[in-house]
């Protein structure tokens, strides 16, 4: 291969890129090279050919097949391009199904269903000739002020790792490669600001941020990784071999491809200022372990070519990356593909896809509070109020095609059916009179709609007020990439709207459609609290139907908080995984405990958890059994999330006061009782010691099962004995994450 042919394999080209802001600083950084010029020597990636504009999938597939044939026949080497797309909430393309956002995956605590969703997404992508998906996001939530919280699964590394690995397995079972992002530490940005510096120490990186990625690589078999934009203690990840080469490849044995987050190679020059020019940025990125520059070749084409030809940059760095890229293309079958028959008809939103979207949405709705008003039965007149009641957009996250792309194309039809909450309630309560009013906008100070909202609420049997977020990009919305917040109050006048409606005396149910948890302690105490509060984290195209089904009782809510419900913006960053001095204490007047804890979630029945038993002793490095009896003590069938927590009572470094080490959803009929057995490797309790060795330490461990991380309904003690066990890369027990290792017996 000539140098030009090698470099062509290391870059993408964004065919449809225009003025739309769908990536940070895209307008400033994109190369002006024409498509014809960019493909003379071949091409590594085609960037978002379906996902940048609303293009008809069949027409675009015909174009893509033709371009792939041209690359095979009209370039010297005949190597097709790898096609990548965003797929965080489903394939981000026009007319494609939109699933719940990842924070909803976490709320469902159902890896099996997430794997089913991943498989369905992969099948749609494979049908359209797409080879790589830029998902899942495995960043662990640390600060809800950060705009990208809705893209994350939760605040617990084990939950993120199990659910994220399931998505990877599902997607890759169809032959589409998953891309883990953003490696690593991105979500720990200073003050929750996007791209801000990260001040996490090496132990927090090792014990909190890295485990989900290791699970997804070792247990999920992920084939691609994307670097984080962040700098950690002054070192940009994209320029630091310690992360992408040392940890990822040398320690974990990852042999796939590392792609750059969009424009992150050029950012080493323009934003981090660790490279004097784009050629220097290219060298730093290659040395650090980035193989492919996305979305275009700003640094890896002309600047890198000049550096190699001048002798300043070792061509061996280029060769290393090219070998990895060509290996990936061979694994994907691209080198032998003929591209003979493009699809002539495509349905990207089949009944099967909608069924998966509906089931995941139903499982993800979290009932936060209920005074008995829910479920709503036999209402005569229902007032449906709020800025998010009659709109489809607030059902979807930032990386949905509707909010990510169609927002730039007003007037273009959505391409799929997305019933609003109002639409769904009209069907759910077909015998009732449904009256509606917005009351206010999501943002702004306009209260002129309050009077109409108050009037219809007073005249109704029940008022359902739907409030929350609108996802968007870089200032266009209240949450999403670049939409970070100083406050965790509900945006605009929405709190005032809810409290005004409560004052009417009509029972009020508050439904939150959000991409982050908000500080809503006022909703759970005092005389202005709603009768019930539902939390839905952008539940997707079937989210309106799922919410209506929960409100009516046709679906018994079973979602649980994958993040703590914050007390205030000033209490951030907060994690339930805090040591003793990270929580409330008598030595500070500033409270940090959340309004509601990680794992909280109510339903329309009640459960008893009792008789937790564990092995008396276990050797460090071995596994132990923990069993608990769970009984449905209510009058209706419901699904209990059995949550097993642990606390290392005394250790050589400070440890969290609670840590999730197992979970399982169990459906039980009234009066039904089961014994749930967890098989837990002690390596799930591993941590980095004072010398940064990852170890399992002998000592006493408290375990409990309860309705959340903070409620110890039934407890037990475990004695870990023997010598300190040092976890090695060969120790597979570190990453055994599959929840199917839990057994349930009557």
> CA 329, CA 132: separation in Å to the nearest integer?
10
Joined tokens for residue 637: 């069938």
Q: Cβ neighbours of residue 232 under 8 Å, at least 6 residues apart?
A: 184, 185, 198, 200, 205, 240
Joined tokens for residue 483: 């939409």
* Alpha carbon 740 to its chain's center: 21
Residues in a beta bridge with 618:
720
Q: How far does the chain reach from its first CA to its final CA, in angstroms?
A: 64
Query: 3-class secondary structure for 196-259?
Result: CCECCCHHHHHHHHCHHHHHHHHCCCCCEEEECCCEECCEEHHHCHHHHHHHHHHHCCCCCEEE
Place of tokens 């290392």: 648
Active-site residue (options: 261, 291, 298, 423)? 261
The H or E element containing residue 280 is: helix 278-288
The sign of the CA dihedral 69, 71, 73, 74 is positive
Joined tokens for residue 122: 């992969």
Active-site residue (options: 84, 195, 560, 725)? 195
SS3 612: strand
Residues in a beta bridge with 743:
677
> Annotated catalytic, 261?
yes
Tell me if 606 sits within 8 A of 633, measured CB to CB: yes
C-alpha angle with apex 428: 427 to 433, nearest 5 degrees? Answer: 75
> By C-alpha distance, which of 423, 462, 455, 419 is closest to 437?
455
SS3 36: helix
Burial of 338 (0-12, 13-18, 19+ CB in 10 A): exposed
The HSE-up count of residue 531 (CA atoms within 13 Å, CB side) is 20
Q: Cβ neighbours of residue 606 under 8 Å, at least 6 residues apart?
A: 632, 633, 634
367 φ/ψ angles, rounded to the nearest 5 degrees: -85, 110
> CA 280, CA 315: separation in Å to the nearest integer?
14
> CA 586, CA 261: separation in Å to the nearest integer?
44
* Alpha carbon 384 to its chain's center: 30
The sign of the CA dihedral 543, 152, 595, 472 is negative
Q: Taking the CA atoms of the chain, what radius of gyration do you get in angstroms?
A: 26
Enzyme catalytic residues: 195, 261
């Amino acid at each position: 291969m000539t140098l030009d042919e090698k470099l062509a394999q290391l870059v993408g080209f964004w065919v449809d890129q225009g003025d739309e802001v769908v990536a940070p600083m895209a307008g400033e950084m994109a190369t002006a090279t024409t498509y014809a010029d960019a493909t003379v020597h071949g091409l590594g990636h085609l960037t978002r050919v379906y996902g940048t504009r609303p293009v008809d999938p069949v027409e675009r597939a015909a174009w893509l097949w033709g371009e792939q044939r041209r690359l095979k026949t009209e370039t010297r080497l005949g190597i097709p391009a790898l096609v990548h797309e965003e797929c965080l909430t489903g394939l981000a393309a026009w007319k494609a199904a939109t699933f719940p956002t990842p924070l909803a995956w976490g709320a469902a605590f159902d890896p099996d269903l997430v794997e089913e969703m991943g498989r369905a997404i992969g099948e749609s992508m494979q049908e359209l000739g797409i080879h790589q998906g830029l998902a899942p996001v495995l960043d662990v939530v640390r600060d809800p002020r950060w705009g990208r919280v809705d893209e994350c699964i939760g605040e617990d590394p084990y939950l993120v790792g199990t659910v994220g690995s399931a998505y990877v397995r599902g997607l890759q079972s169809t032959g589409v490669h998953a891309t883990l992002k953003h490696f690593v530490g991105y979500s720990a940005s200073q003050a929750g600001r996007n791209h801000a510096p990260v001040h996490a120490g090496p132990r927090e990186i090792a014990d909190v941020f890295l485990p989900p990625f290791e699970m997804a690589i070792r247990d999920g078999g992920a084939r691609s990784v994307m670097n984080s934009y962040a700098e950690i203690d002054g070192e940009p990840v994209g320029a630091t071999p310690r992360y992408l080469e040392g940890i990822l490849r040398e320690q974990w044995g990852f042999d796939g491809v590392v792609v750059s987050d969009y424009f992150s190679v050029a950012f080493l020059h323009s934003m981090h200022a660790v490279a004097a020019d784009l050629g220097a940025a290219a060298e730093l990125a290659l040395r650090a372990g980035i193989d492919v520059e996305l979305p275009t070749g700003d640094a890896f084409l002309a600047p890198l070519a000049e550096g190699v030809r001048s002798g300043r940059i070792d061509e061996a760095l280029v060769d290393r990356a090219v070998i990895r890229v060509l290996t990936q293309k061979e694994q994907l079958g691209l080198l032998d593909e003929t591209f003979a028959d493009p699809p002539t008809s495509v349905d990207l939103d089949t009944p099967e896809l909608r069924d998966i979207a509906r089931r995941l949405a139903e499982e993800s709705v979290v009932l936060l509070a209920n005074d008995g008003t829910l479920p709503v039965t036999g209402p005569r007149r229902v007032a449906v109020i709020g800025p998010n009641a009659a709109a489809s957009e607030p059902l979807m996250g930032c990386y949905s095609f509707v909010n990510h792309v169609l927002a730039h194309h007003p007037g273009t039809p959505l391409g799929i059916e997305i019933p609003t909450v109002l639409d769904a309630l009209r069907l759910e309560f077909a015998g009732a009179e449904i009256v509606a009013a917005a009351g206010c906008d999501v943002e702004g100070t306009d209260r002129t709609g309050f009077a109409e909202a108050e009037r219809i609420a007073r005249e109704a049997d029940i008022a359902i007020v739907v409030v929350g977020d609108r996802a968007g990009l870089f200032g266009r919305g209240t949450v999403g990439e670049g939409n970070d917040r100083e406050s965790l109050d509900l945006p605009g006048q929405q709190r005032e709207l809810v409290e005004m409606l409560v004052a009417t005396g009509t029972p009020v149910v508050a439904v939150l459609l959000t991409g982050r948890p908000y500080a809503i302690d006022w909703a759970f105490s005092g005389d202005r609290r709603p009768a019930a509060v539902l939390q839905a984290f952008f539940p997707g195209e079937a989210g309106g139907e799922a919410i209506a089904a929960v409100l009516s009782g046709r679906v018994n809510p079973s979602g649980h908080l994958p993040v703590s419900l914050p007390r205030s913006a000033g209490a951030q960053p907060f994690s339930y995984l805090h040591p003793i001095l990270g929580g409330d204490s008598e030595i500070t007047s500033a409270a940090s405990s959340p309004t509601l804890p990680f794992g909280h979630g109510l339903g329309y029945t009640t459960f008893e958890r009792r008789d937790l038993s564990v092995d008396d002793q276990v050797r460090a490095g071995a596994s132990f059994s923990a069993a608990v009896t769970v009984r449905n003590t209510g009058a209706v069938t419901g699904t209990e999330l059995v949550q097993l927590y642990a606390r290392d009572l005394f250790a050589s470094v400070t440890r969290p006061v609670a840590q999730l080490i197992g979970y399982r959803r169990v459906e039980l009929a009234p009066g039904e009782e089961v014994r749930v057995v967890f098989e837990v490797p002690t390596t799930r309790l591993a941590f980095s010691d004072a010398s940064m060795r990852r170890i399992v330490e002998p000592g006493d461990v408290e375990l409990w099962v309860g309705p959340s991380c903070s409620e110890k309904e039934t407890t037990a003690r475990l004695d870990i004995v023997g010598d300190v066990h040092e976890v090695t890369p060969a120790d597979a027990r570190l990453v055994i994450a599959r929840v199917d290792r839990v057994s349930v017996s009557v």
